[in-house]
Amino acid sequence: MPQKRTGQKGLKIDTAASNRPARPAMSIFAEPEWLDTWLAAFAPIHGGHRENGPSFPYTLTATRLGPLSIRTLQAPTNSHTPRFDLPGVPLATVAAAMRSLRTSYAVFPFLAEDAELLRQAEHDRGGLVLRRVPCEIAPYIACDGDWEGYFASRSSKTRQEWRRRQRRAAEIGFELSEYRSFETVGRHFPTALEVEASGWKGAAGSAIREDAPALTFYTSVVPKLAARGLVRLYLWRIEGRTAAFQLCIVDGDALRSLKIGFDPEFARHAPGQMLQLAILRELFQEEGIRRFDLLGPETPQKRMWATGNEVLWTLRCYRPTPTGMAMALRHGAAGVAKTYIARIAQR
């Protein structure tokens, strides 16, 4: 049964009992469970694992180079992927996979600054030409201080707007429910999907319910992570109806906001903002969570909340072949590519 606990004034927080999970040895999004589920949903035919040496997941795609279509090894990532890494996989293994798959170009996006793949690239390139480029800016909120200090750090206009919205929310009546257990997340996740589909994503056909691979992915991975106590599903209700939601994943000492949405019928009450505000006030009182990750890309709305930004990187890998060097030239890795081309010309 869910446990009631006292929250903010005017809030009734319905939180399923759960124990704080231990800090993982790697990011949740680099674990086999996440990556295997992603491959099964988004790349059941054009993805897989290399088994020669340390296994790692990949997809095969194509990149245009003028009139040519270049066979490309790519990380199993898309817009549903907050982070990526290949812990324990040396770049020599990546190079061997590229040779075996007959591709001269590989791309690994969404790498954090401390990603093991980037650290390895600094010491052993595995015979590859490498180029590291910014991927996106991911805003975050540091939650290891106090709520009053964070609130005071926002602009006077923002503080005034938040106070006004909170007064209005208290007048109309609202409830914040937070679900963490396998049973309660499973019971209420369909409501979140319904809310997302009610907005612009539903009209555009990009809501999870309208995207068969995305629906397969989320309905598989969310229960798996909820069973480990790593999911937090927040619902913001007005007069008993769900007006907004956030689906968040606990990743070490960070809480990452994976999906958000609100019912446009309640837009005048800014339910998304009020839900975000309520979540943050709770997190500032909780030990163990040091960062709330808004995820990228950066937007003016996210900047309003953020206390800092994390730069995510893309690592591009080129084999020293004519095709690989042509791709390197196109992407600006001209120095190494020109050296290789000059050597070829002297033969």
pLDDT in tens, 106-162: 999 999 999 999 999 998 999 999 999 999 999 999 999 999 999 999 999 999 999
**Domain locations in the chain?**
3-25+144-289, 31-135+311-346
Q: Is the pLDDT confidence value at 65 over 70?
A: yes
Q: Flag the least confident range among 4-8, 140-144, 160-164, 283-287.
A: 4-8
Question: What pLDDT is stored for residue 333 in this prediction?
Answer: 63
Q: Is the pLDDT confidence value at 49 over 80?
A: no
Structure tokens at 69: 């279509």
Phi first, then psi: give them for residue 243, nearest 5 degrees. -100, -25
Most confident of 49-58, 111-120, 197-206: 111-120
Question: What pLDDT is stored for residue 334 in this prediction?
Answer: 52
Q: In whole numbers, what is the pLDDT of the chain averaged over residues? A: 86
Question: What pLDDT is stored for residue 15 in this prediction?
Answer: 43
The 3-state DSSP class for residue 112 equals: coil
Average pLDDT over residues 276-305: 93
* Parallel/antiparallel/unpaired status of strands 12-15 and 47-50: unpaired
Q: Flag the least confident range among 59-63, 69-73, 124-128, 173-177.
A: 173-177
Question: What pLDDT is stored for residue 347 in this prediction?
Answer: 42
Rounded Cα distance, 107 and 192, in Å: 33
Encode pLDDT of 299-338 as tens digits.
Answer: 999 999 999 999 999 999 999 999 999 999 988 865 555 5
Encode pLDDT of 86-113 as tens digits.
Answer: 998 999 999 999 999 999 999 999 999 9
DSSP string, 256-273: EEEEEEE-GGGGGG-HHH
Q: What is the CATH number of domain 3-25+144-289?
A: 3.40.630.30
Q: Is the pLDDT confidence value at 277 over 80?
A: yes
Question: What pLDDT is stored for residue 167 in this prediction?
Answer: 87
